[in-house]
Amino acid sequence: MEKVSTLFRKPLAVDEAVIRVQEATGKGRTETVPLYRANGRILAMDLIATHDVPAFNKSPYDGFAVRSADLLRASRDEPVTLPVQYVQGAGHVGEPLREGQAIRIMTGAKIPAGADAVVMLELVQADERVVTFKRPARDANISYRGEDMATGTNIVDRGTRINPGVIALLATFGYEQVDVYVKPHITVFATGDELVEPGQKKADGQIYNSNAYMILAQIEALGGAATYGGILPDTFASTKQAIAEALQTSDAIVTTGGVSVGDFDYLPDVYDALGATVLFNKVGMRPGSVTTVAHVENRLLFGLSGNPSACFVGTELFVGTYMKTLFGQAERPVILAELGVDFPKPNPFDRFVRGHVTIDATGQTVVHPSGKDKSGIVSSLATCNALIHLPGGTRGFQKGDSVRCRIIDQL
């Protein structure tokens, strides 16, 4: 098949490209899973407090429940001794506290009626009596009903990734099962006769396939279910067949390489043969300007550059947008940071530089490139926790300038 020329592509602004991906993304499906299977999934419901937490006034410590009025005269020189009325453990409720007495109370136990303070165990001298040298304030050491979470409070928003803390909240409110978003099934292909799999022997002129494994990890980190489709040879027929077959079982397909303007870059022709609608085939950004996204049969096809850093940025910006739209999530947080080096070179397109954000000894947020700023560089990815966004149409940037950073990993 004769290749269609792709030399005259019109670049689309990054923000517009993101919007087109959002508009072409369908609504995420949901499913219900057992609580013990929910960790790492994306919450498909708002978590509302169904009761007060704590559900009753309780003691946060082991100690003695008392009436503060009974200890008004307590001092080191004249300690006050109170007899112990009874012992109250967590999960049990006894009779009201009588005047002039104390109730031995355990951590988490309900405050007895009549008590308005708890004296910590460390401040008494014996279990059968209370000897205190400091008068307790009214309400001292009491966790009051609803002070953590009140009934009706929105505790966790839909679209939140469930972590052990969210699991604890779900269990606190009695959820045995939880509604989560179905993980989109995304098949990843690498393209190019120059690629070999890690562990295999390389011939002269060949390189190990790193992009596909990077993309698989990015998709999993974003909450998707990634499947590796293998390396596609540089032929139209085999590429078309593999993608057509993957469309039958995938929600989206990601390819790396094969979207440029070389003689063996067949993906634009494959998209055309499959009847796909191209959303865009060039983006006004560096790296990854040749990024292509198409839509067919309610599936999205992401054609990313074969350069490692360009591939990384494309996955983050566009595959990430697709998944966040499915899950109803907000975009990645963007912060302002002080640029740690000069970027004097003007660029007509927006640049996304792999960066590493730190907070220095003065509390200033500073960002440096995480390695060499070339699209074929792999080493810059290992320590990258942010993308430095340098807008196009500028005369360059100087050390100390304030720049926007898209946070993609923990600082």
DSSP 36: G
Return the closest-CA partner of residue 378 out of 320, 312, 292: 312
In this prediction, residue 128 has a pLDDT band, given cuts at 50, 70 and 90, of low
Quick check: 211 and 256 in contact, CB under 8 A?
A: yes
Which secondary structure element, helix H or strand E, spans residue 269, and what is its range?
helix 267-273
Task: Quote the CA–CA distance of 388 and 215 in Å, as a whole number.
Answer: 20
DSSP 165: H
Which secondary structure element, helix H or strand E, spans residue 172, and what is its range?
helix 164-172
Give the pLDDT confidence score for residue 263 in this predicted structure.
45
- Structure-model confidence comparison of residues 168 and 122, the more confident one: 168
Return the closest-CA partner of residue 234 out of 291, 169, 189: 189
Task: Quote the CA–CA distance of 58 and 55 in Å, as a whole number.
Answer: 9
- 337 in helix, strand or coil? strand
Quick check: 281 and 289 in contact, CB under 8 A?
A: no
Task: Quote the CA–CA distance of 386 and 332 in Å, as a whole number.
Answer: 10
Return the closest-CA partner of residue 119 out of 100, 145, 141, 138: 141
Give 190-244 pLDDT, tens digit per residue: 998 888 999 999 889 888 899 999 999 999 999 999 999 999 988 889 999 999 9
Return the closest-CA partner of residue 315 out of 244, 250, 201, 220: 220
Over residues 108-124, mean pLDDT: 92
Residue 375 has pLDDT above 80, yes or no: no
For residue 144, what are the contacts with CB-CB under 8 A and spacing of at least 6? Answer: 54, 57
Give the pLDDT confidence score for residue 124 in this predicted structure.
84
Give 233-275 pLDDT, tens digit per residue: 888 899 999 999 999 999 999 999 866 555 446 788 899 999 9
Q: What is the mean pLDDT of the chain?
A: 90
Q: Which residues does residue 64 pair with via DSSP β-bridges, in sequence order?
A: 104, 119
Task: Quote the CA–CA distance of 287 and 311 in Å, as a whole number.
Answer: 8
> How many CB atoms within 10 Å of residue 375?
17
Over residues 306-330, mean pLDDT: 94
Over residues 157-173, mean pLDDT: 94
- Identify the burial level of 8 via C-beta atoms within 10 angstroms of its C-beta, where 0-12 means exposed, 13-18 middle and 19 or more buried: exposed
Give the pLDDT confidence score for residue 5 in this predicted structure.
42
Return the closest-CA partner of residue 25 out of 377, 368, 329: 329
DSSP 323: H
Domains of the chain: 14-29+182-327 (3.40.980.10), 32-53+147-181 (3.90.105.10), 63-132 (2.170.190.11), 334-407 (2.40.340.10)
Residues constituting the chain: 411
**What is the pTM assigned to this prediction?**
0.83
